[in-house]
Amino acid sequence: MEQKRGLLKSSFPVKASMVIMGTGQLLQKQWIKGILYLTCFVSYIVYLALTGVEDIIGFFTLGTVKGDAWLGIEGDDSIMMLLKGLLAFVITAFFVGIHKSNINDAHRSDIKVKQGSVLPKFSKACGIFFDKKFYIIALAVPVVGVLIFNILPIVFMILISFTNYGGDVVPPELVDWIGFDNFGKVLALSEIKDTFFKILAWNLVWALISTLVNYFGGLGLALLLNKKCVKGKAFWRAFPVLAYAVPGFITLLGFKFMFSYGGPINYYITMSGGSAIGFLDIDAGLTAKLIGILVNAWISVPTSMLLATGILSNMNKDLYDAASIDGASKWKQFTKITLPFVIFSTTPVLITSFVGNFNNFGIFYFLRGGLYNEGYFLASDTDLLINWLYNLSIDNNYYGIGAAISLIIFIITSIFSLLTYVRSGAYKKEDTYR
Amino acid sequence: MSKYKRLTALLLSSVIISTMTGCSDSGVEASADEAITLRILENDTAKQEGYLDVLINAFNEAYKDKGIQAVDANMEEYSDLAANGPYGYGPDVIYQANDKLMTYAEDKHILPLDIEEFDCYEYVPEEAGDAFNINIDGETYCCGIPVNIQEPMLFYREDKMPENWQTEWDDNSNGVADFFENWNDLYAYSKYLRDTDASANKDSQYGFMSSFNNLYLNGQFLFSYGAYVFGENADGTLNSEDIGLSKGNSVTGLSALRQMAALMNEGCIDDTITMNRYEKIADGTYFCAVSTPDTYSLFVEKLALKYENEGLSEADAKAKAIENLKMVELPELMPADGDLTKNSEEMSSSDWVETVVMGGVNGYAISSYTEHREACVEFINFATSFEMIQNRMDMLGIAPTRSDVAEASGGVTDTIFESLSEGNIYLMPSIKAVDQIWVPTQTLLGDIAKDPFREAAGEQPKYFSQQEIKKAIEKVDKDIYDAIYTLK
């Protein structure tokens, strides 16, 4: 507030900088800085004149001319317009940030001049900036990377969920903004709503069970291989690592074949006089779910095992000796010493594992793709939300609906991750050395 | 400020600047070349078997003086023209099945062509040409030039024919075994093989085998009985609101499918037979299996491998395999009442319906985003010439749409051509909505095929009456409709 009042009462150079970037600095005889700010200002104005204004308008209209390749009419590409509009907003936000820094800089210089100080030369000012604000330079690349590769796609997906993009509305057709209609369809249209909630329920159960199975499977294996009585530990540890080293989808196709009617499991069942079992066919909902959990464990337990092995190697053996002297049973030692220690160290991994399993696309896509079950809209009873999302958006081109479901998944997993992490010991006692 | 900080700051700044300048400058375009280069997207089989090289070399040789050259577009077989074309990354000429090409045509991603402009026009049957017609704003446009027909065929080993087939399995003495003429005898022979299987687990000999979860390979159980995918509007265009898989007597056909499944193993429920048919035909476990003509070379390879393992040289094994492996159309008669168990000798001509299989026509189209339309027309004209189509047939085993090539080669090729002309091939509908039919039908066909095995395992069958089948196929129609329209 005080700064705002200061700015209002500021001198002419500061006010000049508010109107045209860099002019204040030029009036204060900071030539290089002034030229740089002025260049930014002119570049932004030129950008607006050349394409920026058009891009911002296009963001709202999403195009007005439909293309016709046969007639040579190029037409508007709604999705490109949405992207360019988004970029225009990012550039504008960037410009606003620079403009603010320009005003602040002119204001600071103004105060220094009034105090009788000599304004530093550009090279010295840069040196001071690099020295005092080094964290800005150091974080710039990662922040730009996160912005381009994480934030922008998420924002793009969020925007798509508010359009009618998909189905018959794909370029050259023009896309329109439709507000919350897609969310309305997911949550209100009876066929889709029922499918959504059925899949969501199974998805949560799946994510929870598979995370626990993978986590405790890996921990159990690590504890087993940590025992003194186990000979050739390195040799035994190599086996799970081999399973981990094989590309996941190859493993999944292998398992699909093993459990198919023509696979080795059914071969031995029929050879021994039994009837072939449809482990993954249309009637096999529960069996297929169990197979999915086991196959996922086969792929993921080695990672947990390696992680747990590393953590266990840091355990203080004296704790166990002391516990034994106090008469604690092995189970007590596990629940009171080992488990708290491992969980403290691996809470973030547990969260990412849960989110990873929640969005585990490959398992049921490869094991049981190509089925639509009764009572499900374009989905089977083993499909997770991510598989349904794929069916809708890739197989059936319903991108808008797909984006709306993505956003719902994003909200669920974000809330879960944040709540779990913030409530965990790993966050509350971040600085604690265990 | 420490040197370290200055150095790091300099490094990071240069990374940002180089990234930004890298993004802003798309580079200078290469200077224009006078020679026209056409990017040709062919299917994977044509590439693997070397046909694309033959075609491109022949075209480049013939057009070297005209400044036109063709190159492999070097893209994934099913790369999306709609996504890549508008940005200049798609092929100039594209070869694909009619349903795929016409999906592009709906959004005008491929150009309308004057089929009469092409030399092959007078030799191509109307039905094949129609597969590439589209109606836009009341006008009909042709957007592709037909090359070959695809339909399910039966593959078998000639040496596995019963020794007495001419006396016992050729009632009309026309030199064609009855089980290749009608489905009741195919059922009867399959049953005979199953009943006489002396192996401990009764799994050493099967008759007719097919993965029933595949509509394309098993469409005859629907389309022979009056079912259709999409109905037609008054102007002859397809009406995707009228889904007719449950129409006609399709229930009868699906009952026949259920009967036939009982003579197979559980592999007919999923893709097992599709995957093992080459090997099982080669080792004699399956008497005949369904596949498409473009897989002919895979059957030959497996059979040749068997002969090699038995001691023949590679060349002799291949020659023997080619001589022994036969490909015929599916039996042309199906029982009108869907009862495959009836004795064919006691059936009159009115007891039969003609088999109508599902098929497709592959052809060439020109991308709307090409800059060399005329050169593309030249290329397609060349690629659909008598010589090149004959080359394609010889190298890939395709059934051409050119009548002169079909006549010259005779045999199965000519028969497939006739089937198309006589309307015994139900062509895949050439509209975008066809994408929605596959998974619902795959699910139902697999489910019906499983029914005999439910019964055998002591479980309650799902499709114990025709009413149950009727309900299920009507639900498939509804599911397809919902998939097309619910989210529109």
Report residue B248 as tokens.
Answer: 């006609």
Final residue before a domain boundary, out of A147, A179, A211: A179
Total Cβ atoms within 10 A of residue A364: 26
Please write the tens of the pLDDT for every residue from A23-76.
999 998 899 999 999 999 999 999 999 999 999 999 999 999 998 888 888 889
Whole-number pLDDT of residue B3: 52
How many domains are there within chain A?
Answer: 2
The predicted structure's pLDDT at residue A315: 83
B15 falls in which pLDDT band (50, 70, 90)? very low
Q: Are residues A6 and A97 in the same domain?
A: yes
Task: Give φ, ψ of B341 to 5 degrees.
Answer: -80, -10
Domain membership of residue A434 (yes or no) is: no
Q: Which domain holds residue A136?
A: 2-179
- All residues at 6 or more sequence positions from A409 whose CB lies less than 8 Å from its CB, including other chains: A358, A359, A385, A386, A389
Question: How many CB pairs lie under 8 A apart between chains A and B?
Answer: 122
CB within 8 Å: B82 and A170: yes
Q: Choose the mutation target among B7, B21, B139, B270 for the interface with A, i.e. most A CBs under 10 Å.
A: B270
Domain ranges of chain B: 36-143+359-423, 153-356+432-485
In a domain, A362, yes or no: yes
Instruction: Answer yes or no: do B107 and A170 touch at CB < 8 A.
Output: yes
CA distance B214 to B196: 29
A166 contact residues in B (CB cutoff 8 A): 487
User: What are the DSSP E strand ranges found in A165-280?
Assistant: none
Q: Cβ distance B469 to B254 under 8 Å?
A: yes
Q: How far apart are the first and last CA of chain B?
A: 62
Domain end residue (candidates: A179, A197, A216): A179
The encoded tokens of residue B137 equal 């704003």
Clarify whether residues A204 and A134 are in a common domain: no
- Quick one: A12 and A76 in the same domain? yes
Task: Tell whether A48 and A189 lie within a shared domain.
Answer: no
Answer whether B360's CB lies under 8 Å from B150's CB: yes
Task: Return d(Cα A423, Cα B327) in angstroms, integer.
Answer: 68
pLDDT digits (tens, 9 = 90+) for A367-377: 998 889 988 98
**What is the DSSP secondary structure assignment for residue A378, as one 8-state letter?**
S
Q: Is residue A42 part of a domain?
A: yes
Phi, psi of B289 (to 5 degrees): -135, 155
In this structure, the answer to whether residues A380 and A418 fall within a common structural domain is: yes
* pLDDT confidence of residue A420: 84
Q: Report the share of chain B in percent with pLDDT over 90.
A: 68
Tell me, yes or no, whether A12 lies in a domain. Answer: yes
Q: B352 pairs with which residues across the strands?
A: B335
**Mutation test of the interface with chain A: which of B106, B203, B487, choosing the one with the most A Cβ atoms within 10 A?**
B487
Q: Is A68 on the interface with B (CB under 8 A)?
A: yes
Share of chain B above pLDDT 70, in %: 93
| Distance from C-alpha of A133 to C-alpha of A188, rounded to nearest angstrom | 51
Single-letter residue type at A258: M
The answer to whether residue B27 scores a pLDDT higher than 50 is no
Give CA separation, A275 vs A23, A178, A270, B191, in Å. 87, 53, 6, 19
Residue A433, in any domain of the structure: no
Residues A192 and A401: their CA atoms lie apart, in Å, by 10
Give CATH for domain B153-356+432-485: 3.40.190.10
Is the ipTM beyond the 0.90 threshold? no
- Nearest C-alpha of chain B: how many angstroms from A98? 16
pTM, two decimals, is 0.79
Contact between B267 and B446 (Cβ < 8 Å):
no
Tokens of A85: 């509009």
Cβ within 8 Å, pair B201-A270: yes
Matching fold, domains B36-143+359-423 and B153-356+432-485 = yes
A-chain residues within 8 Å CB-CB of B270?
Answer: 260-261, 280-281
Select from A140, A172, A271 the Cβ nearest to the Cβ of B12.
A140
What is the DSSP code string of B434-455? GGGSHHHHHHHHHHHHHHHHHH
Query: Which positions ≥6 away from B335 have C-beta within 8 Å?
Result: B182, B183, B184, B256, B342, B347, B351, B352, B353
Instruction: State the smallest CA–CA distance between residue A128 and chain B in angstroms.
Output: 8
Name the band, by pLDDT with cuts 50, 70 and 90, for residue B413.
confident
Q: Is omega for the bond preceding B125 within 30 degrees of 0, making it cis? A: no
* SS3 annotation, B124-141: CCHHHHHCCEEEECCEEE
Pair B213, B444: CB distance under 8 Å: no
Residue at A369 is within a domain: yes
Look at A281 and B446 and tell me if their CB atoms are within 8 Å. yes
Q: Measure CB to CB from residue B487 to each of A144, A167, A263 and give the nearest one.
A: A167
Find all residues with CB under 8 Å of B49, minimum gap 6, and list them.
B297, B395, B396
Rounded CA separation B401/B425 (Å): 13
Question: What pLDDT, in 10s, does the model give residues A84-94?
Answer: 999 999 999 99
The residue whose two tokens read 């690349």 is A141
**Residues of chain B numbered 415-434 and touching chain A (CB < 8 Å):** 432
Burial class (CB in 10 A: 0-12, 13-18, 19+), A155: middle
- pLDDT tens digits, residue range B304-360? 999 999 999 999 999 999 999 999 999 999 999 999 999 999 999 999 999 999 999
- For residue A226, the tally of other CB atoms under 10 A from its CB is 15
Residues A165 and A42 in one domain: yes
B149 beta partners:
B361, B399
> Is residue B14's pLDDT more than 50?
no
Residue A240 tokens, joined: 């799970």
Do A157 and A275 belong together in one domain? no
How far apart are alpha carbons A129 and A120 in whole angstroms?
11
**Residue A385 near residue A409 (C-beta atoms within 8 A):** yes
Region of residue B248 (left: phi > 0; alpha: psi -120 to 50; beta: else): left
Distance CA A214, CA A120 (A): 60
Sign for the CA dihedral angle at B117, B118, B120, B125 comes to: negative
d(CA B190, CA B154): 14
| Same domain, residue pair A114 and A27 | yes
What's the CATH number where A303 sits? 1.10.3720.10
**pLDDT band of B369, cuts 50, 70, 90:** very high
DSSP one-letter code for A338: I
- A254 and A384 co-located in one domain: yes
- Asked if A261 and B269 come within 8 Å (Cβ–Cβ), the reply is yes
Q: Give pLDDT, residue A292.
A: 96
Q: Is B202 on the interface with A (CB under 8 A)?
A: no
- What number of residues does chain B have? 488
Q: SS3 for B310?
A: coil
Same domain, A19 and A136: yes
Q: How far A210 CA lies from chain B's nearest CA (Å)?
A: 27
d(Cα B455, Cα B457) in Å, to the nearest integer?
Answer: 5
HSE on the CB side for B223, CA within 13 Å?
A: 23
Looking at A128, A158, A179, which one is the last position of a domain? A179
- B9 shares contact with chain A (CB less than 8 Å): yes
A232 and A284 within one domain: yes
* CA B314 remoteness from chain centre: 30
Identity of residue A185:
K
Write the Ramachandran bin of A167: left for phi over 0, alpha for psi from -120 to 50, otherwise beta.
left
CA distance A110 to A104: 10
CB-based contact, B6 to chain A, within 8 Å: yes
CA atoms within 13 A on the CB side of A262: 18
Q: Identify the pLDDT of residue B30.
A: 35
Residue indicated by tokens 């594992």: A353
From A406's Cα to the closest Cα of chain B, the distance in A is 16
Q: B36-143+359-423 architecture in CATH?
A: 3-Layer(aba) Sandwich (3.40)
Q: Are B322 and B300 in contact (CB under 8 A)?
A: yes
Tell me how far apart the alpha carbons of residues B251 and B338 are, in angstroms, rounded to a whole number. 8
**Contact between residue B220 and residue B358 where contact means Cβ atoms under 8 Å apart:** yes
Low-confidence stretches of chain A (pLDDT beneath 70) = 1-8, 426, 429-434
Q: In 3-state terms, what secondary structure has residue B408?
A: helix
Tell me phi and psi for residue B75, to 5 degrees. Answer: -125, 165
Query: Does residue B127 contact residue B397 with C-beta atoms inside 8 Å?
Result: no
Average pLDDT, rounded, for chain B:
89
Q: How many CB atoms lie within 10 A of CB B131?
A: 27
Q: B13 pLDDT exceeds 50? A: no
B276 and chain A in contact, CB less than 8 A: yes
A173 to B107: CB separation less than 8 angstroms, yes or no = yes
Task: Provide the chain A residues 127-146 that lie in CB contact (below 8 A) with chain B.
Answer: 127, 130-131, 134, 137-138, 140-141, 144
pLDDT number for residue A133: 85
**Chain B residues close to A191, C-beta within 8 Å:** 482, 486
CB atoms within 10 A of CB B9: 22
Give the 3-state secondary structure percentages of chain B, helix then strand then coil, rounded to 5. Answer: 50, 15, 30
Taking a contact as any Cβ pair under 8 Å apart, which residues of chain B between 453 and 472 contact chain A?
453-454, 456-457
User: Contact, B263 vs B464, CB < 8 A?
Assistant: no
- Which has the higher per-residue pLDDT, A75 or B384? B384
Please list every residue in chain A whose beta carbon sits closer than 8 Å to the beta carbon of residue B435: 395-396
Given a contact cutoff of 8 angstroms between Cβ atoms, the answer to whether B132 and B361 are in contact is: yes
Q: Are residues A70 and A91 in the same domain?
A: yes
